[in-house]
Structure formats: structure tokens, C-alpha cells
Amino acid sequence: MRLRTRPASGGFELYAWFFMRVSGILLILLALGHFGYMHLLNGVEKIDYEFVARQYRTPFWKTYDLLLLSLALVHGANGARTLIDDYIHARGWRALFLAALYTASFFFLVVGALVIVTFQRVR
């Protein structure tokens, strides 16, 4: 019950909290921008392979989507980390769940980023 003063992870939790605030605000703006461009300015009937290929000719949309992907994944993964931290107390299970979470997040981040960065239009 006694609080351990100044444990090593205090600093990390501070940065994690700050990151959640900043990424949360950015994600709202990015998601609104994505929604506005895709669904209001264009519309689902116009979105096909050619549309995406045309978008990815510009570094702007590649950067935009890369930012959206990485922020959403890391924001979500950190949220899941806090859930595991709050509710899984057995050390072994916690390590297992965290390892699975980090592995899956890293995998999806790398695969998603690869698709965006290396995208080449196939004729």
C-alpha cells in the first residue's frame, strides 16, 4: 500500500501522458482532414485504385497518411498498454500481453509504413 517515491517509470509516464494529449489533438485534425477530403470533397464512389495511386504521387499525401497511421497506432497501443498495466497484475501474464501488444503494433506500423512509402502504381 505504501507509495514508492520516485520510481524509475515516473518520467516515462509523464512523456506518455503528454504524447497522448498532443497526438490526440493531431489525430482529430488529421482524421477530420481525411474525412473532409475523402467523403465531402470526393466521395466513396470516386475512391478506387486510381484515386489512391494519384494521391500517392505527391509526397504530401504520403506524409499525411504516414502521420495518421503512426500516430493512431502508437496512441492506440499506449492506451492498450495502460489497460494492461491497470488490470493485469501477474508479472508473467503482463509481460506476455505487453510483448504481444508491442510485437503486433510494431508489425502493423512497419507493414503500413512500407505500403505507403514504397507504393508504386501498377498499370
Partner 1 sequence: MLVKLKILRFDPDNDKAPHFQNYEADVEPTDRVLDALNAVRWYQDGSLAYRSSCAHGICGSDAMRINRTNRLACKTLIRQVAPNITLEPIRGFPVKRDLIVDLTGFFEQYRNVMPYLVNEDPMPTVERFQSPEDRAKYDDTTKCILCASCTTSCPIFWANTDYIGPAAIVSAHRFIFDSRDQAGGERLDILNSREGAWRCRTIFNCTDACPRDIKVTKAIQDVKRAIMSQKL
Q: Does 13 bind partner 1 (CB under 8 A)?
A: yes
The rounded distance, in Å, linking the Cα atoms of 101 and 76 is 10
Return the closest-CA partner of residue 71 out of 119, 123, 96, 34.
34
Return the closest-CA partner of residue 98 out of 85, 112, 109.
85
Q: Does 5 bind partner 1 (CB under 8 A)?
A: yes
Nearer to partner 1, 2 or 123 (CB): 2
The rounded distance, in Å, linking the Cα atoms of 47 and 44 is 5
Nearer to partner 1, 14 or 47 (CB): 14
* Candidate residues 40, 87, 118, 120; the one interacting with partner 1 per rule CB under 8 A: 87
Positions touching partner 1 (CB under 8 A) are 1-7, 9-11, 13-14, 16-18, 82, 85-87, 89
